[in-house]
């Protein structure tokens, strides 16, 4: 932890460099500082993952976008920063603002040509209290 998970409509694959966005967001996380000037997110624990949604529905399906002169092919990107507990509200806001600005800058060419929504959400992990697992894979390998 901390992790940024990006969920996005698959139509954005051809519009922007998602790996580049991941790198920029990870680098941005390293710039966030606590009130005492210390780095908020440990470099070794910073991770950014992006997952395209091949199936999605956004807003009205494109009618308003086409009426506005666009192609009606809406896009959406959701960024979720999950961090450990204990940071001040000011640091949480600073982190969210920094990620939002980074994503907006990276995605500006997409915003210029397409109808696109972007959301950044920051969550705190109160601590892992349960780690349940169930698998039918392990017995396959236990026989040998």
Q: Where are the alpha helices (DSSP H) in 31-143?
A: 63-67, 89-113, 138-142
Hey, which residues does 85 pair with through a beta bridge?
Answer: none
**pLDDT band for position 45 (cuts 50, 70, 90):** confident
pLDDT score of 137: 67
Question: Does the pLDDT of residue 24 top 70, yes or no?
Answer: yes
**Residue 40 burial (CB count, 10 A):** 19
Classified as helix, coil or strand, 3 is: strand
Average pLDDT in the chain: 90
Domain boundaries, the chain: 3-129
Q: What is the dihedral of CA 60, 64, 70, 73, to 10 degrees?
A: 0
- pLDDT average, residue stretch 95-99: 97
Superfamily (CATH H level) for 3-129: Macrophage Migration Inhibitory Factor (3.30.429.10)
Question: Does the pLDDT of residue 108 top 60, yes or no?
Answer: yes
Whose CA is closest to 8, among 96, 79, 99? Answer: 79
pLDDT score of 128: 60
pLDDT score of 138: 60
**pLDDT band for position 144 (cuts 50, 70, 90):** very low
Question: Does the pLDDT of residue 121 top 70, yes or no?
Answer: yes
User: Is residue 81 a contact partner of residue 121, using CB atoms and an 8 Å limit?
Assistant: yes
Question: Does the pLDDT of residue 110 top 50, yes or no?
Answer: yes
Instruction: Specify the pTM.
Output: 0.86
Residue 36 DSSP class = T
Higher pLDDT, residue 51 or 126: 51
- pLDDT average, residue stretch 98-117: 96
């Amino acid at each position: 932890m901390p992790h940024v998970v990006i969920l996005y409509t698959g139509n954005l694959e051809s519009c922007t460099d998602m790996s580049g966005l991941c790198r920029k967001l990870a680098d941005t996380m390293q710039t966030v500082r606590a009130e005492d000037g210390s780095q908020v997110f440990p470099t070794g624990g910073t991770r950014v993952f992006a997952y395209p949604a091949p199936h999605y529905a956004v807003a009205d399906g494109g009618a308003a976008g086409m009426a506005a002169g666009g192609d009606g092919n809406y896009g959406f990107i959701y960024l979720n920063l999950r961090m450990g507990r204990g940071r001040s509200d000011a640091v949480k806001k600073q982190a969210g603002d920094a990620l939002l600005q980074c994503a907006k800058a990276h995605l500006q060419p997409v915003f210029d040509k397409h109808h696109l929504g972007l959301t950044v959400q920051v969550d705190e992990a109160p601590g892992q209290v349960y780690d349940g697992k169930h698998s039918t894979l392990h017995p396959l390998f236990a026989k040998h």
